[in-house]
Amino acid sequence: MSPSSSSITDYVSRSSSVLLLAPSREPPDDSACTDLLTRNAPTETNVLSVTLSASPAERLSVWQREAGSELPARATIVDARRDMTKAQLPTSEAGSISVRGVRENADLYDIGLAIASQLGAWENTDETTVLCLHSVTALLAAHDTERVISLITSLNDLCERLGAIAHHHVDPAEHDEETVTTLRPLYDAVIEHTPDDGWIPTEHERTTTAPTFRSTTPPPGGAAKTDPDRPETVPMRYSFDTVLELVSSPRRRTLLYNLKSQPTGEISLDQLVERVHSIDRSLPIRDAPSREKVRIEFVHVHIPMLREAGIIRYDADSEMIHYTENQGLEAFLRYIETIELG
């Protein structure tokens, strides 16, 4: 006997990452997607919908058809379609939903950045954040399989650290059995739809042995040097896991923007706190805590993380921060700084 929709969500309630195996854009796929997005009431939920095939309006229509007119507390649709004109939702439909685009022919870094930065922006809200990636099938059609697996693993790890809940869509008819078998262990749970038995849920411990981006992975854009419209390829010494975690926090991004711009490679803690605090206050989309709160956050959260990654050295006695030059990281930071701050 196949589980009902409610029992499926109950079954995977302990899972932070779910693989949804079903024919794309068909009723079972749409209903299960909405069920997973509404484990909690919409008013208690932040929804991040990433679409690589359907338009934002089409993804919104799925929500309206399956969940009704009540919108989430916060909702963002990341439009990551390739070679398609990006469009906002009609004004009458937008409500509290924002649409965020990525560059044309976006690389996986572009998509990962958009997802990580939005998840990080909602990290300290009271609502539960849920992520829908529609779909992994579209990613695999456009990108190298190993790099897609790296992105999936990094996003699943990031969601677990941030307390977010994610599900990713895969159309099994579009892949061979080997590919589907490779994807299954990357998730805490798998929900598979079959014509005869309906939904079949499986929950297990996710593996952590998937491949990661090698040190030669190009920065965003990732194209060959012969493409004049793309950044030049620079080796990246950090894994994709590390890069996504670094940029998931808005304040940590601003900290990194400042560090890479230091002419001497060093700056005092107080100077850095003052600069980041001033930028936070100038951006309406950022919260603006006191300088002391920013300082405490730096000392106990961001500086230890950057030290562990080998990006800085920190002398606690003199409170001096020493930044180590890294061309690959700096190319990536320049790119996202332009997107975020202009």
Residue 206 has φ and ψ, to the nearest 5°, of -75, 140
184: Cβ–Cβ under 8 A, 6 or more apart, which residues?
19, 190, 202
The CA distance from 155 to 109, in Å, is 12
User: Do β-strands 189-194 and 198-203 pair in parallel, antiparallel, or remain unpaired?
Assistant: antiparallel
What pLDDT, on a 0 to 100 scale, did the predictor assign at position 306?
A: 92
Nearest to 34 by CA among 13, 74, 62: 62
Q: Are 130 and 45 in contact (CB under 8 A)?
A: yes
What pLDDT sits at residue 285? 59
pLDDT digits (tens, 9 = 90+) for 203-252: 765 554 443 333 334 444 444 333 444 444 445 567 778 888 888 888 89
Distance CA 272, CA 300 (A): 15
pLDDT at 126 over 80: yes
CA dihedral 315, 158, 130, 285 (to 10 degrees): 30
Q: Which token pair is 317?
A: 């006695």
The CATH number fitting domain 5-203, selected from 3.40.1190.20, 3.30.300.30, 2.60.40.10, 3.40.50.300: 3.40.50.300
For the purposes of burial, counting CB atoms within 10 Å of the CB of 228, is it exposed (0-12), middle (13-18) or buried (19 or more)? exposed
The residue written with tokens 């936070």 in the block is 280
Dihedral sign from CA coordinates of 117, 121, 124, 125: negative
What's the pLDDT tens digit per position in 156-211?
999 998 999 999 999 999 999 999 999 999 999 999 998 888 888 887 655 544 43
Torsion angle of C-alpha atoms 52, 54, 55, 56, degrees rounded to 10: -80
Instruction: Output the pLDDT for position 229.
Output: 46
Q: Distance between CA 98 and CA 114 in Å, rounded? A: 13
What's the pLDDT score for residue 215? 36
| Model pLDDT, residue 318 | 94
Average pLDDT over residues 261-278: 89
Q: How far is 227 from 220, CA to CA, in rounded Å?
A: 13
For 248-341, CATH number out of 1.10.287.70, 1.10.10.10, 3.60.20.10, 1.10.1510.10 equals 1.10.10.10
Mean pLDDT score across all residues of the chain: 83
Phi, psi dihedral angles at 98 (to 5 degrees): -110, 150
248-341: same fold as 5-203? no
Helix (H) or strand (E) holding 17: strand 17-21
| Domain boundaries defined on the chain | 5-203, 248-341
User: Whole-angstrom Cα distance, residue 147 to residue 316?
Assistant: 38
- pLDDT digits 0-9 by tens, 323-342: 988 887 888 888 788 777 76
This prediction has a pTM of 0.74
Q: What percent of the chain has pLDDT over 90?
A: 46
Q: Is the pLDDT of residue 152 over 50?
A: yes
Q: Residue 128 in contact with residue 165, Cβ under 8 Å?
A: yes
Beta carbons of 58 and 37 less than 8 angstroms apart: no
**What does the pLDDT read at residue 212?**
39
Residue type at position 30: D
